[in-house]
Amino acid sequence: MKDKILEVSAIENGTVIDHIPPKAFFKVIAILGLDKLDTQMTLGTNLHSKKIGKKAIVKLSDVFFPDKDINKIALVAPQAKLNIIKNYDVVEKRVVEIPDDIIGIVKCMNPKCITNSEKIVTKFKVVSKKEVKLKCLYCEKITDQDNMQVI
Amino acid sequence: MKNKSLVSITDFSKSEYMKILSLAEEYERKPVRNLLTGKVIANLFFEPSTRTRLSFESAINKMGGRIIGFSDSGSSSVTKGETLYDTIKIVSNYCDLIVMRHPLEGSARFASEISSVPVINAGDGANQHPTQTLLDLYSIKKTQGKLDNLTLFIVGDLKYGRTVHSLLMAMSQFNTTFHFISPEELKMPEEYKILLRSLGLKYHEHKDFTDIIAEADIIYMTRVQKERFSDPIEYERTKNAYVLKNKMLTNTKENLKILHPLPRVNEIEQDVDINPKAYYFTQALNGVFIRQAIISSILDVN
Ligand SMILES: [Zn+2]
């Protein structure tokens, strides 16, 4: 039934982000700034997935993200799959890839870091991608996957 | 180095360190030089650190520079709620160089991004204190005649000690053999051991502070602080196990020198002070020459 509803909302042109873990759903919305878009979109979560049990999906009409923007969601949804739709057809399938640098998005986990007390855009170097580890360019401490908090 | 901030020990290359070390030798030979006439240096100490501040002030005074600033945030506009951003934006209009000490980690990097003049980090929380590291290198070079191929023992708190981590990173460029002596709870973090392995450098870890130090060219002592232990009983058990006593130095090498970033609490017994191998007080004096060399390099006045 759920699949049927999503079927109905198939889009003509745009981007479908599939296989988002439900717990990362709202983070993906925040990272991509979907709340600020005024295009047509369909969002669904806790949908049945053969692959990952439950999943969330985002369908956006007439929105195409540059790589550097879409790759940001790899921090919270590394297994997300992208379908680029043109004329109701999938013209491109992509996976997301963690970028080398993360600007903004993530909060430094070090409570004594200056970025947690002044208004500063955080900057991290990605030192490990397999098990995500980010090195803060200010305090030089590591923020790991378990402690990663999206701003 | 001209106009470059010094925030982290990794900001300067090996050849830049070496230049600063040889310049410091010149300042040691002739410390009083009027190279900073007309220059204003802001010493911003957002938390008190008397020894570091006096060392910088001494260095600046010996070169004829003028100092503005504050020695703790209680006597500045910071208590009125001013942001670090605003303080740095304003102060950098008044001076040619900022020296800053701040309790928060990353504060000096942030200041260097927004300041119109270079920033020297005089300690940002538990993160970096690069002028301390350079004075440690200077002390090692001066007492050993070289930096290459030495055996360095580091004793005490190897987990939280920022001076220890910066020293390790700096010395890892000189084919050093490392020995780490610490209680289990305060062992050298894995990331630094990974770094040494990736460079093909030898390191050995020991739990006991014994006659193994016979191999040492340098012993670098640090404080073992009570608040670092999750288990107070463990602290009581280990607090006296990492104390250097004069009799332990009997069979050590002739060229051995004992270093300590100071202040010490009880980790070096006072009877060591008269041993010619004790070097920690001279090490503190070297801090003035090294800071003269750093300041004059950044301001390009040599
Ligand atoms: Zn940080």
Interface of B with A (CB under 8 A): 8, 83-85, 102-107, 109-110, 124-128, 191
Cα of A145 to nearest chain B Cα, Å = 17
Beta pairing, strands A89-95 & A133-136: unpaired
Give the class (CATH, top level) of A101-150.
Answer: mainly beta
DSSP per residue, B34-90: ---TT-EEEEEESS--HHHHHHHHHHHHHTT-EEEEESSGGGSGGGGT--HHHHHHH
CA B116, chain centre distance (Å): 26
CA A142, chain centre distance (Å): 21
B168 CA distance to ligand 1 middle (Å): 21
B218 CA distance to ligand 1 middle (Å): 33
d(CA A64, CA A84): 8
Looking at chain A, the domain(s) classified CATH 3.30.70.140 span 10-95
Kindly calculate the radius of gyration of chain B based on its CA atoms and give it in whole angstroms: 19
d(CA B165, CA B280): 18
Q: Give yes or no: B80 in active site.
A: yes
- Least reliable range by pLDDT among A79-83, A143-147, B198-202, B236-240: B236-240
Tell me the two tokens of residue B42. 């802001």
Q: Is the ipTM of this complex over 0.90?
A: no
Looking at chain B, the domain(s) classified CATH 3.40.50.1370 span 9-128+287-299, 130-284
Looking at chain A, the domain(s) classified CATH 2.30.30.20 span 101-150
Q: What is the structure's pLDDT at A149?
A: 85
Helix (H) or strand (E) holding B300: none
In the three-class reduction of DSSP (H, G, I as helix; E, B as strand; rest coil), residue B257 is classed as strand
Which residues partner with B180 through β-bridges? B154, B205
In the three-class reduction of DSSP (H, G, I as helix; E, B as strand; rest coil), residue B164 is classed as helix
A35 CB contacts (<8 Å, ≥6 apart)?
A29
Cα of B221 to nearest chain A Cα, Å = 24
DSSP per residue, chain A: -HHHHHHHT--SSEEEEEEE-GGGHHHHHHHHTGGG--S-EEEEEEEEETTTEEEEEEEEET----HHHHGGGGGT-TT-EEEEEETTEEEEEEE----SEEESSEE-S-TTBGGGTS----EEEEEETTTTEEEETTT--EEEGGG-EE-
Determine the CATH number of domain A10-95: 3.30.70.140
Query: Which of B83, B85, B106 is closest, CB to CB, to A139?
Result: B106
How far apart, in Å, are the Cα atoms of B124 and each of A7, B41, B128, B168, B212? 55, 19, 6, 18, 34
Mean pLDDT of chain B: 93
B88 CA distance to ligand 1 middle (Å): 19
CATH topology of domain B130-284: Rossmann fold (3.40.50)
Q: Which pTM does this prediction carry?
A: 0.86
Q: What is the structure's pLDDT at B75?
A: 64
Q: What is the structure's pLDDT at A6?
A: 52
Interface of A with B (CB under 8 A): 108, 110, 112-115, 117-120, 136-142
Q: Which residue from B162, B175, B154 is spatially nearest to B129, judged by alpha carbons?
A: B162
Phi-psi domain of A57 (left: phi exceeds 0; alpha: psi -120 through 50; beta: other): beta
d(CA A134, CA B106): 15
Q: Which residues of chain B have a CB within 8 Å of the CB of A140?
A: 8, 105-106, 127-128
Q: Give yes or no: B204 in active site.
A: no
Tell me which of B39, B53, B62, B101 is the catalytic residue: B101
Q: Report pLDDT digits (tens) over B113-134.
A: 999 999 999 999 989 999 999 9
DSSP 8-state assignment for residue B182: -
DSSP per residue, B13-49: -HHHHHHHHHHHHHHHH-------TT-EEEEEESS--
Q: Which residues of chain A have a CB within 8 Å of the CB of B126?
A: 112
A123 CA distance to ligand 1 middle (Å): 8
Q: Give yes or no: B253 in active site.
A: no
Test B105 with A119 for CB contact under 8 angstroms. no
On the question of pLDDT at B177 being above 70, the answer is yes
d(CA B129, CA B177): 23
Tell me the two tokens of residue A123. 């900057």
What residue of A is the nearest CA neighbor of B128? A139
Average pLDDT for consecutive 10-residue bins of chain A (151 residues)? 55 93 91 91 90 89 90 89 93 91 92 96 92 93 88 79
Q: What is the structure's pLDDT at A58?
A: 94
Q: Which residue from A116, A124, A117 is spatially nearest to A75, judged by alpha carbons?
A: A124
Test B106 with A117 for CB contact under 8 angstroms. no
Tell me the two tokens of residue B58. 């001494």
DSSP per residue, B195-234: HHHHTT--EEEESS-SGGGGG-SEEEE----GGG-S-HHH
Give first-to-last CA distance, chain B, whole Å: 12
d(CA A119, CA A138): 13
How far apart, in Å, are the Cα atoms of B230 and each of A112, A142, B226, B227, B283? 19, 21, 9, 8, 32
d(CA B220, CA B150): 13
CATH topology of domain B9-128+287-299: Rossmann fold (3.40.50)
A145 vs B42, residue with greater confidence = B42
Q: Report pLDDT digits (tens) over B68-111.
A: 999 987 766 666 678 999 999 999 999 999 999 999 999 999 99
In the three-class reduction of DSSP (H, G, I as helix; E, B as strand; rest coil), residue B141 is classed as helix
